[in-house]
Amino acid sequence: MKGIIFNYLSDMVEEAFGLDVWDSILSKAGSEGIYVGTQNYSDEELLSLVAAAHDISGIPVNDLVRKFGEYAFPRFVENNPQFVSSDMTLKSFLLTVDRIIHVEVRKLHPDAMLPEFEYKDEEDNELTMYYCSPRKLCYLAEGLIAGAAKQFNTQYSLEHSKCMHDGESACTLHITMHE
């Protein structure tokens, strides 16, 4: 996983809880906490930081991962404004994730291990996304969707009806946009 993810996590924890809590998380996880944005770090490093954050805060791991996705989304947009335009909607943006954004990320970072999405787009205000990744970070995807909804000023509901954590081959995320 790219170091930028770890840097965003550090920023989120420091903003919400302070530097002392981030230092406690690093200590508990056995991490030095020095991350170069473009370098790769192990998934286990991230998972140990999240587990330590759970132990210290008592917040469920899935909630922490979801909150992190929501926090990270505007930072991704700030660093990659070319992926968002003023005429986009939440739905039109989500449809670009696998077809455009991940294609461009792979050009810049051929070693990136990105999730795959398939889509079912049958209704104007609904979208089903099928998430698949060996990392099983579907709750991060939920958080990123929440961040995107804020970006596009859209109320929505999300049903996560099937999950890789329950043995499914992909997670089913059904999003309904409310007017």
The pLDDT score that the predictor gives to residue 113 is 83
The pLDDT score that the predictor gives to residue 101 is 86
Share of the chain above pLDDT 70, in %: 99
Q: Span 14-22, mean pLDDT?
A: 93
The pLDDT-based confidence of 10 (bands split at 50, 70, 90) is very high
What is d(CA 84, CA 148) in angstroms, rounded to the nearest whole number?
Answer: 10
Strand partners, 118: 130
What is the tens place of the pLDDT at every residue in 85-142?
Answer: 989 999 999 999 988 888 888 888 788 788 999 999 988 999 999 999 999 999 999 9
The pLDDT-based confidence of 67 (bands split at 50, 70, 90) is very high
The pLDDT score that the predictor gives to residue 151 is 95
What is d(CA 13, CA 152) in angstroms, rounded to the nearest whole number?
Answer: 25
- On average, the pLDDT of the chain sits at 92
**Residue whose pair of structure tokens reads 């398939």 in the numeric block:** 118
Q: Span 48-53, mean pLDDT?
A: 94
What is d(CA 120, CA 122) in angstroms, rounded to the nearest whole number?
Answer: 6
Contact 141, 159 (CB under 8 A): no
The pLDDT score that the predictor gives to residue 141 is 96
What is d(CA 62, CA 119) in angstroms, rounded to the nearest whole number?
Answer: 23
Q: Span 71-78, mean pLDDT?
A: 94
Q: How many residues does the chain have?
A: 179
Residue extents of the structural domains in the chain: 3-59, 87-178
What is d(CA 54, CA 40) in angstroms, rounded to the nearest whole number?
Answer: 23
- CATH, domain range 87-178: 3.90.1520.10
Strand partners, 157: 176
**Residue whose pair of structure tokens reads 């000023």 in the numeric block:** 153
Is the predicted pLDDT of residue 51 greater than 80, yes or no?
yes
What is the tens place of the pLDDT at every residue in 78-87?
Answer: 988 888 998 9
Contact 117, 179 (CB under 8 A): no
Is the predicted pLDDT of residue 179 greater than 80, yes or no?
no
